[in-house]
Amino acid sequence: MKLSQLTAYLESLAPLAYQEDYDNAGLIVGHPDQEIHQALISLDCIEAVVDEAIATGCQLIISHHPIVFKGLKKFNGKTYVERVVEKAIRNNIALYAIHTNLDNIHTGVNARICQTLGLQNCHILSPKHGLLKKLVTYVPNAHADRVRNALFHAGAGNIGDYSECSFSSAGSGTFKGGDDTSPFVGEPGERHTESEIKIETVYPANLESKILMALVLAHPYEEVAYDLYNLTNQHQQIGSGMVGELEVPMDEERFLFLVKDRLQAQVIRHTELRHKSVKKVAVCGGAGGFLLKQAIAAGADFFVTADYKYHEFFDADGKIVIADVGHFESEQFTQQLLLEIIQKKFSNFAVRLTETNTNPVKYYI
């Protein structure tokens, strides 16, 4: 298939608009029209992974971490980043990264960690603001259903697990067309009053142009009246980290054993145990230290994450147990997640997991 078919699908699940400012998710090397027959999935895109793609006949590497974060000025093989990009281009291998946009969706990296640890009733630990907007439009009675359906189909009206959410109220609209108009009802130059339905619905801001296009196509009027509002509501399904509960509370040492076992961690660095049972657990794949306050506020007994520094461990302050399992360890199952997402949608497309262990951290035990 075309590379763009696959990336468009991945971006319908994890829109690029949901990535953090510092990130560089998306198509890094390659052309959207390029034909692809097989993809290789890896947490990191390092030289050994490009070699593996060449050896196994893959035309695309999908990695969680982008190989390029900042502008590259020279390509003379001095750094591993330059060498990876150069080798990929020379061998016609596309590089695609699905990073913080996959972290920030409620079915992404952190959902997979929750699932691996057997957590239930999971929700986003720190939902994002500013991602939702509201559309209000005015439609003649007979066309209200058609417009509502078009808006829902384009992605409006989703609140949590509910879809097709809207509010309608009846009223009358007035308009007077200019000399060059051909109004759907009424005559140019005369004020017309029409019974209309006011439809209100929420939508994710990144879908705005698609939703407005659907509105204009479905609405019978020559000029469609609509209002767009910014909302300060949180988007409950988009944001950082997750929190969930163990089915049965367990003691702290047993929980640490479970984490070590399930996340295949060779070592867990953790703060002092609190001698109480563990029920609620916050998680964040990769460097999650910025979420400690939210984890404590959520009432979590444990915060399973990575990349903690010495002084940051003090912040646990007896209120929670921080468990640093390692960056790679916390995110490694993202590879299986991506494999499943792609195989479910494109059952005939060949996709494989890397056999390279890309963890740059080694343990001397």
Binding-site ranges for Zn ion (CB under 5 A): 286, 331
Smallest separation, CB 286 to Zn ion (Å): 3
Q: How far is the CB of 341 from Zn ion (least distance, A)?
A: 17
Q: Are 184 and 176 in contact (CB under 8 A)?
A: no
Across 31-54, b (16+ Cβ under 10 Å) vs e yields eeeeebeebbbbbbbbbbbbebbb
C-beta closer to Zn ion: residue 103 or 194: 103
Q: How far apart are alpha carbons 251 and 254 in whole angstroms?
A: 5
SS3 category, 129: strand
Contact criterion met (CB below 8 Å) for 84 and 67: yes
State which residue, 324 or 331, has the beta carbon closest to Zn ion.
331
> Which residue's CB is nearer to Zn ion, number 175 or number 328?
328
Least Å distance, CB 334 to Zn ion, is 8
Closest-CB residue for Zn ion?
Answer: 286
40 neighbors 354 (Cβ within 8 angstroms)? yes
Nearer to Zn ion, 127 or 286 (CB): 286
Residue 43 or 199 having the CB closest to Zn ion: 43
Nearer to Zn ion, 183 or 326 (CB): 326
Query: Considering the complex, what minimum distance in angstroms separates the CB of residue 66 from Zn ion?
Result: 10
Q: Are 341 and 10 in contact (CB under 8 A)?
A: yes
Nearest distance from residue 109's CB to Zn ion, in Å? 8
Cα distance between residue 60 and residue 39, in whole Å? 5
Output the six-digit token pair for 361.
């951290």
CA distance 247 to 250: 9
Is 69 strand, coil or helix?
Answer: coil
Beta carbons of 239 and 282 less than 8 angstroms apart: no
State the nearest-atom distance from the C-beta of 327 to Zn ion, in Å: 6
